[in-house]
Amino acid sequence: VELLVVIAIIGVLIALLLPAVQAAREAARRMQCTNHLKQIGLGIHSFHDTRNAMPPSNFFDENRSTVFGFIYPYIEQPALYDIIEKSYDTGWGKFVTFKDMFNTKLNDAERNALGSVPIYKCPSKRSPGSVYFYDSTNKEAKSGPQGDYAYVVSVKSSGTTDFIPWWDHGVDSRKTDKTKFAFHLVDSPFQVASSESGVWTDGSMRFKVSFASCTDGLSNQLFIGEKHIPIGRVGKCDSTLEGAAKNQPNSGDCSYLLTGVWKSPASGRNISSIGDGNDGNLPLQHPIARGNDFKEDIYNPIRSYGFGSYHAGVCPFVMGDGSVRVLSSTTQFSVLESLSMMTDGKAISLP
């Protein structure tokens, strides 16, 4: 009897101890995740110190490197920058990061290196090591290294007809005059850089945004946050969905070296924009995923387009001043909307 009592007591103690151990581990993972965002923020500041400009969302069109590639030299990854800076004789010039470049122009060692950047991974979502999406049959698929962070995209409308959908924030700058005109509607810090010479193969860049562009103050400006990838969809990328299914969570984990368009948002995620997939082109009212946003629901745009983490009830963001703030998933939309825009003139501060 005494032995059974001792065993029962030990069992109770273990049952009490396990949740505490799990909570401690998650606290450590969350701290590591916020530290990754801090390093990304420092990389952005170092880029700005060197170029006197923000790193672009991408260069010239959505088929080229994003901010996460352009800051490689400033996060101690210069060898990876050398990989994406090359011209691979595809006719696209420099900084091409899709299609032939990743699938056929790189060897396994280079692909593994691009997929192994530790600060681009949240330890609560995936284990360390090389992670990338590779599609050997569909060369148009968004192949490339996978990560857990995305830059903030907000597009404001200046009228009933002058707007661009948020997923067009990184489109080819050579397209229609309306698209060129509409770029001023992108009011978030990361915007596409144009070609200095007008020739898209020479690799020269003209930047559009600097810290001075954030007239509302860097401490009140969202830069980058953890992107929402529903449980069970980590490591999966599908750019072939059509119809109602295009709001499914299949597109959430594509290459962070690609801007992503409509069915494959990858490196940028929506906070407040026209045309996020809701009827009537309404803004996404819950940009940070809540508990019920993890369920299977093909009509829920948050599943692919918004921010969110596996840290219960919160999502970390790096601000313009380099600080990291952990925001509740219940943060009011009006607050997030104002913090996502550079020039809306609203004095919104986080508590």
Q: What is the pLDDT of residues 110-127, one digit of tens each?
A: 999 999 999 999 998 888
208-258 pLDDT per residue, tens? 889 998 888 898 899 999 988 877 778 877 655 555 455 454 456 888 998
Higher pLDDT pick, 346 / 79: 79
> Percentage of the chain surpassing pLDDT 70?
75
Residue 303 in contact with residue 351, Cβ under 8 Å?
A: no
Q: How far is CA 264 from CA 259, 268, 278, in A?
A: 9, 10, 17
Distance CA 351, CA 341 (A): 18
Cβ partners under 8 Å of residue 25, min gap 6: none
Residue 162 has pLDDT above 60, yes or no: no
Least confident span in 69-83, 177-191, 334-348 = 177-191
Q: Can you give the pLDDT at residue 208?
A: 81
Q: Which residue has the higher pLDDT, 32 or 237?
A: 32
**172 Cα distance to chain centroid:** 19
Residue 281 predicted with pLDDT over 60:
no
Q: Is residue 40 predicted with pLDDT exceeding 70?
A: yes
Identify any residues that bridge with 59 across adjacent strands, giving them in sequence order: 193
331 vs 20: CA distance, rounded Å: 27
What is the C-alpha radius of gyration for the chain, rounded to an integer number of angstroms?
21
Mean pLDDT of the chain: 78
Q: What is the DSSP letter of 118?
A: G
How far is it, in rounded angstroms, from Cα 282 to Cα 99? 33
> pTM for the whole thing?
0.85
At 60-102, the pLDDT tens digits run: 877 889 999 999 999 999 999 999 998 887 777 788 887 778 8
The better pLDDT of the pair 181, 310 is held by: 310
Distances (CA, A) of 199 to 172, 174, 182, 195, 202: 13, 10, 21, 6, 6
Q: Which residues of 295-323 are buried (b: 16+ CB within 10 A; e: fewer)?
A: eeeeebbbbbbbbbbbbeebbbbbbbebe
In the chain, alpha helices (H): 2-51, 67-70, 78-85, 100, 108-114, 177-182, 302-305, 333-340
What is residue 294's predicted lDDT score, i.e. its pLDDT? Answer: 57
Question: In three state form, how does the secondary structure of 301-326 look?
Answer: CHHHHCECCCCCCEEEEEECCCCEEE
For residue 54, pLDDT over 90 is answered with yes
Q: Which residues of 74-113 are buried (b: 16+ CB within 10 A; e: fewer)?
A: bbebeebbebbbbebeeebbbbbbbbbbbbeebeeebbeb
Q: What is the mean pLDDT of residues 30-54?
A: 94
Q: Where are the alpha helices (DSSP H) in 86-231?
A: 100, 108-114, 177-182
Place of tokens 């299609």: 99
Query: What pLDDT band is residue 309 in, cutting at 50, 70 and 90?
Result: confident
HSE toward the beta carbon, residue 17, CA cutoff 13 A: 6
| Separation CA 42–CA 341 (nearest Å) | 21
- If 0-12 CB within 10 Å is exposed, 13-18 middle and 19+ buried, where does residue 348 land? middle
Instruction: Give the pLDDT confidence score for residue 318 in this predicted structure.
Output: 96
Residue 112, pLDDT score: 93
pLDDT for 193 equals 86
